């Protein structure tokens, strides 16, 4: 397959069956990718041979490819695919065991369902013989999935789960490329407090999921060390499609700034219902899904002035062993998939490179050796430097972006990397 349209058509078909195999797409000539046996290019687990005789390592995982989080799950899938394709096109991985390998991938749809995800990982291990696991999206799904990795002693590298709870289990087999959720609101609060007319009060609305509750708890801890007054602190069910009552309380409280601890669906609802409920605050941030194009497409002008955190800047200039520079990765995503990547995309690329780096540096290719190397690794990717603390979490701080009507999405904090000053306070709805 060549060309953007052919690749996207393939992905649409593969995604609809709930499984994606990449050997054929990524440059191998084996029979993997038909989806019949999970898309793996071999019959014998994580290592095998393609039809051309080339050795293959298969990575496997589940991802949110349908449902409310499908837009975000697609970002990971696209980044995985493109990275694997580039690795294979450049000759594969020269591993530390003296062999050269191409990569293959089995990625199955879990619909952001924790039980389904657990079943997928157990099947990938038991039936497909996969030793190297790509983590799912969402902390609520990643926590139980990481337990499957630990029980079976298989390394899992993930870019979609950020709850501290994932990394507080003493699990030596899980590695996370997102800063933990308790850090997501810190930079936003610091930015607001640094303004000339600093806020005096804050409202928190939090989804009842694992990640969002961890984010809210981190924000409460941060607030307790400031002069801010927490005037609204409410939790809402993940399946709600109406935040009007919660927003009415924010409006009536007179809160200066608002923090929404939730995912893209609720960011869109918030942006639209803030307007309908005439909720005027100096700043409003959604923790996940407020920065990607699909949020702005659905929220339209109501998404203007919204803030969002990111562990990565699209204009960064990091060295990368596969793409060369961050800008080349950005161009690759734009050319192949018709959108500008965000931190989910960059983290997805770093997931694949974390395994690649380990394969290159271990004398013997096995799960324990790969895990041990990842624990002590340090290398550069389009996402920045990848190194993990003792619990398996990457050491990274969050940037703050804002949708600005005249200049689109801009980094506004911290000052040393800001593209624009924040528009603070946000204009009232009557002034827009």
369: Cβ contacts below 8 Å, ≥ 6 apart: 358, 362, 363
Round to whole Å and give the CA distance between 431 and 196: 21
Q: What is the pLDDT of residue 396?
A: 85
- CA dist 362 to 96, 138, 352, 358, 369, Å? 5, 30, 16, 6, 6
Q: Which two tokens stand for residue 176?
A: 């996370």
Round to whole Å and give the CA distance between 168 and 170: 6
Q: What is the pLDDT of residue 51?
A: 59
Q: What is the pLDDT of residue 45?
A: 53
- CA dist 97 to 216, 361, 362, Å? 45, 8, 7
Q: What is the pLDDT of residue 21?
A: 52
Handedness of CA 137, 142, 144, 150 (dihedral sign): positive
Q: Which two tokens stand for residue 424?
A: 């603070």
Q: What is the pLDDT of residue 205?
A: 98
Please name the residue ranges forming H helices in 111-168.
114-126, 139-152
Contact predicate 57/359, CB 8 Å:
yes
List the beta strands (DSSP E) in 11-166.
19-21, 47-49, 55-63, 93-94, 100-109, 132-134, 156-158
Q: What is the pLDDT of residue 417?
A: 81
Q: What is the pLDDT of residue 44?
A: 39
Q: What is the pLDDT of residue 240?
A: 96
DSSP assignment string, 396-420: ---EEEEEETTTEEEEEESGGG-SS
Round to whole Å and give the CA distance between 14 and 10: 6
Q: What is the pLDDT of residue 10?
A: 31
For residue 346, count other CB atoms closer than 10 A to its CB. 30
Per-residue pLDDT tens digits of the chain, which is 432 residues long: 334 333 333 333 233 334 455 543 333 323 333 333 333 333 335 776 665 567 999 999 999 999 989 999 999 999 999 999 999 999 999 999 999 999 999 999 999 999 999 999 999 999 999 999 999 999 999 999 999 999 999 999 999 999 999 999 999 999 999 999 888 999 999 999 999 999 999 999 999 998 899 999 999 999 999 999 999 999 999 999 999 999 999 999 999 999 999 999 999 999 999 999 999 999 999 999 899 889 999 999 999 999 999 999 888 889 999 999 999 999 999 999 999 999 999 999 999 999 999 999 999 999 999 999 999 999 999 999 999 999 999 988 899 999 999 989 999 998 878 899 999 999 999 999
CA angle 296, 303, 286 (to 5 degrees): 95
Query: 53: exposed, middle or buried (C-beta count within 10 Å: 0-12, 13-18, 19+)?
Result: exposed
CA angle 108, 176, 130 (to 5 degrees): 40
- CA dist 237 to 53, 157, 215, 246, 275, Å? 52, 29, 15, 12, 21
Please name the residue ranges forming H helices in 196-338.
210-223, 244-253, 264-276, 293-299, 326-337
Distance of CA 109 to the CA centre of its chain: 16
Angle between helices 186-193 and 210-223 (to 10 degrees): 30
Angle between helices 4-16 and 70-89 (to 10 degrees): 120
Contact predicate 207/238, CB 8 Å:
yes
3-state secondary structure of 164: helix
Round to whole Å and give the CA distance between 38 and 147: 22
- Return the closest-CA partner of residue 78 out of 63, 93, 91: 63
Q: What is the pLDDT of residue 27?
A: 31
Q: Which two tokens stand for residue 210?
A: 């694992």
């Amino acid at each position: 397959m060549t060309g953007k349209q052919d690749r996207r058509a393939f992905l649409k078909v593969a995604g609809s069956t709930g499984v994606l195999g990449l050997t054929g797409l990524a440059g191998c000539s084996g029979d993997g990718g038909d989806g019949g046996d999970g898309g793996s290019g071999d019959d014998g687990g994580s290592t095998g041979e393609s039809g051309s005789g080339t050795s293959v390592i298969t990575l496997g995982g589940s991802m949110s490819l349908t449902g409310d989080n499908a837009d975000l799950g697609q970002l990971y899938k696209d980044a995985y695919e493109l990275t694997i394709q580039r690795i294979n096109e450049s000759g594969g991985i020269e591993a530390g065991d003296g062999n050269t390998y191409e990569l293959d991938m089995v990625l199955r749809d879990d619909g952001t369902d924790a039980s389904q995800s657990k079943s997928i990982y157990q099947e990938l291990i038991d039936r497909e013989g996969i030793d190297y696991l790509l983590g799912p999206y969402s902390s609520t799904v990643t926590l139980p999935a990481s337990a499957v990795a630990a029980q079976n002693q298989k390394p899992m590298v993930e870019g979609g789960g950020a709850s501290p709870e994932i990394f507080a289990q003493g699990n030596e087999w899980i590695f996370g490329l997102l800063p933990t959720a308790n850090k997501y609101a810190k930079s936003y609060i610091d930015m607001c407090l640094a303004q000339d007319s600093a806020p005096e009060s804050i409202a928190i609305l939090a989804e009842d999921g694992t990640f969002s509750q961890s984010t809210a708890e981190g924000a409460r801890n941060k607030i307790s060390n400031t002069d801010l007054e927490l005037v609204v602190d409410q939790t809402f069910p993940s399946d709600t499609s109406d935040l009007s009552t919660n927003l009415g309380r924010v409006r009536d409280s007179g809160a200066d700034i608002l923090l929404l601890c939730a995912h893209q669906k609720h960011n869109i609802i918030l942006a639209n219902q803030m307007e309908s409920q005439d909720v005027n605050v100096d700043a409003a941030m959604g923790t996940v899904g407020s920065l990607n194009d699909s949020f702005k497409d659905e929220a339209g002008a109501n998404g203007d002035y919204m803030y969002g955190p990111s562990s990565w800047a699209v204009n960064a200039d990091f060295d990368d062993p596969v793409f060369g520079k961050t800008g080349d990765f950005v161009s690759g995503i734009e050319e192949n998939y018709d959108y500008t990547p965000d931190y989910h995309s960059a983290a997805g690329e770093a997931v694949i490179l974390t395994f690649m780096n380990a394969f290159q540096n271990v004398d013997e290719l096995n799960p324990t050796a790969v895990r041990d190397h990842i624990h002590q690794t340090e290398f550069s990717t389009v996402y920045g430097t990848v190194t993990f603390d003792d619990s398996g979490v990457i050491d990274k701080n969050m940037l703050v972006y804002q949708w600005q009507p005249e200049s689109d999405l801009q980094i506004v904090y911290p000052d040393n990397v800001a593209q624009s000053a924040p528009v603070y306070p946000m204009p009232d709805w009557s002034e827009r």
